[in-house]
A and B are shown apart, each in its own frame.
Chain A
C-alpha cells in the first residue's frame, strides 16, 4: 500500500485529521526520492561513458601515446571541475554522478599509463593505488555505491600486497596468526577513528567497513588452525632483520596507542577488552617472551597514560605471571628439588610484592595527575 493510500486510510479511520493528512502528504511528496530518475541518470551516464570509450577504442591503435595521455588528463580535469561545480551549486544528483565518473576515469588512467609504459604488475597494486587515490572522495559522497566499491577493493588489494612482503612473512614466522590479527585490529582502529568523526557524512563508509570486518573475522576464525597458532614456538627474534622487528614493533606501538587513544577520547571501552584478551592469550599460551613482555610494557604505558586503573593492574599481574612462567621454563628441572621450590616461592612472593607496590605507586600518581 502506498503512503498516500495509508494516509487516506488513517484519516478515514479517524486516527488523523484532514489537516494532519494534508501536512503528511505534503511532507512525503517533498521528501520522496526519485529512484527511477536516479536510475535513468545512472543509465545515461553509463551509455555516454560507454559511447566515448567505444569511439576511442575503435581508433585507439592509431592514436599516439602522447595524445592518449593528453586526452585522458583533459577528461580527468573536466570531470573534476564538473563535479566541483555540481557540489558548489547544490546539484546533488549531478555531483554524485560526476564523482562516480571521476573515480572510474582515475582507474582507467592508471590502466592507460600502465599500458603505455609497459608496466608489469603481478599483484593487485594497481587497484590499491586507485583505492588510495579516490579514498578521500568517500568523505564527500552521501550515496552508498562508491564506498561499497572502493573499500572492498582497498581491503583485498592491500591485503594481497602486504601478504607478499618480507615483513609479513617474518611476522608470521615470529608468531603464526599475527599478520591477520594485526590486519583486523588495524581496520578496527580505522573504523573507530572514522566513527568518532562527528562531521562524517558517509554512513555507508562505516557500514561497508563493519561488514568487511565481520566477513574477515569469520573467515579468519574458520580457516586458521588455532592449535598451531597458539602452540609454543621455538625461535629467536635475532634470526630476523632488525628493520623487520623494529618496523613491526613501531607499528604495534602505533596501533595499541591509537586503540587506547580512541577509547579514551570517545569514553568507550571497545578496544581495551580486545587488547587485554590478546595479552591474556599471549601470557597464558606463553607466546615468545620478549614479544609478550614488550606488548605488556607498551600496553602498560598506555594504560597509565590514559588513566585506565583496572587495565594497569591486570597488565602488571600478567607481567608477573609471564616472568614466572619464564622462570619455570628456564629452571624447570630444578623445581623438583627442595631448594628449587624455595626459590620459586621466594620469586612468587617477590613478584607479588613488587607488583603491588609498583601498581599502587602508579595508581597513586595517576590519581594525583587526574
Chain B
C-alpha cells in the first residue's frame, strides 16, 4: 500500500497552508492602518440571519479624512458585509439595534489596493463586546 513519503507530504500540506494563512491573517489584523466606516442594516426588518449581522456602508456619514486625499474609496469596499456573532449576543444585539437608533461602525484594516479586512464591529464607538458588557451592567 502507501508507504511512500508523498502521502505524508500531501496530508501535511493543507495543514501547513492553513497555519500560514492563519498567521498571515493575524499579522494583517495587527496593522495600524485602520479606518472606521459607518454602517447600517442591510435589511432594516431583519438585521440578523442566523449568527450573521448583515450590514452595508453608509459613505455619506463616514469620515473620509481617514483616507488618502480625503476621498472615500468606495470601490475598494464591498456593497454588503456580514459579521459573525455568537448566538446569545446576536439575539441581544438584534433586539437593541432594532428598538434603539444605535450607531454602528465597522473597523477595517487597509491593505493597499487589496480588499480591506474587517477587524471589529463598533457600537456607539465601542467594540461590540465591550458595549454589550457595559449595557448589561
Contacts and interface: CB of A to CB of B under 8 A. Distances in A.
Q: Kindly name the residue among B10, B11, B81, B119 whose own CB sees the greatest number of chain A CB atoms within 10 A.
A: B11
Nearest to B78: A120
B68 interface: no
Contacts of B11: 80, 83-84, 102, 137
B12 A80 contact: yes
Nearest to B17: A133
B83 interface: yes
B14 A140 contact: no
A95 B8 CA distance: 12
B26 to A, nearest CB: 8
Given A87-B1, A113-B25, 9 more contacts: A80-B8, A83-B11, A87-B3, A95-B2, A115-B84, A117-B25, A117-B117, A118-B117, A140-B10
A69 B1 contact: no
Contact of B7 (A87, A92, A133): A87
B22 interface: yes
Nearest to A138: B10
Interface string A260-299: 0000000000000000000000000000000000000000
Contacts of A73: 15, 18-19
Contacts of A119: 25, 117-118
Nearest to B25: A117
Interface string A23-42: 00000000000000000000
A95 B18 contact: no
B16 to A, nearest CB: 10
B103 interface: no
Contact of B15 (A61, A76, A87): A76
A133 B87 contact: no
A109 B118 CA distance: 19
B7 to A, nearest CB: 5
A110 B14 CA distance: 10
Interface string B1-35: 11100011011111101110110010001000000
A114 B104 CA distance: 22
Q: Which 10 A-B pairs have the closest CB atoms?
A: A61-B86, A87-B2, A80-B11, A136-B10, A133-B14, A118-B118, A117-B25, A90-B1, A106-B14, A76-B15
B7 A84 contact: yes
Interface in A26-68: 60-61
Q: Kindly name the residue among A106, A115, A117 whose own CB sees the greatest number of chain B CB atoms within 10 A.
A: A117
Interface string A110-144: 10010101111010000000000110110110000
A125 B74 CA distance: 23
B18 A122 contact: no
A106 B115 contact: no
A231 B17 CA distance: 46
Contacts of A77: 15
A84 B117 contact: no
A242 interface: no
A222 interface: no
A88 interface: yes
Contact of A76 (B14, B25, B78): B14
B25 to A, nearest CB: 5
21 contacts: A61-B87, A76-B15, A76-B18, A77-B15, A80-B11, A80-B15, A84-B7, A87-B3, A87-B7, A88-B1, A88-B2, A106-B18, A109-B14, A115-B84, A118-B117, A119-B25, A119-B117, A120-B78, A120-B81, A120-B118, A137-B11
Nearest to A57: B87
A106 B18 CA distance: 9
A111 to B, nearest CB: 11
A136 B12 CA distance: 11
A90 B19 CA distance: 30
B8 A84 contact: yes
Contacts of A76: 14-15, 18
A95 B1 contact: yes
A122 B82 CA distance: 10
A149 B82 CA distance: 28
Interface string B86-102: 11110000000000000
A119 B26 CA distance: 12
Interface string B102-125: 000000000000010111000000
B1 to A, nearest CB: 5
Interface string A224-258: 00000000000000000000000000000000000
A87 B8 CA distance: 10
Q: Kindly name the residue among A102, A113, A120, A137 whose own CB sees the greatest number of chain B CB atoms within 10 A.
A: A120
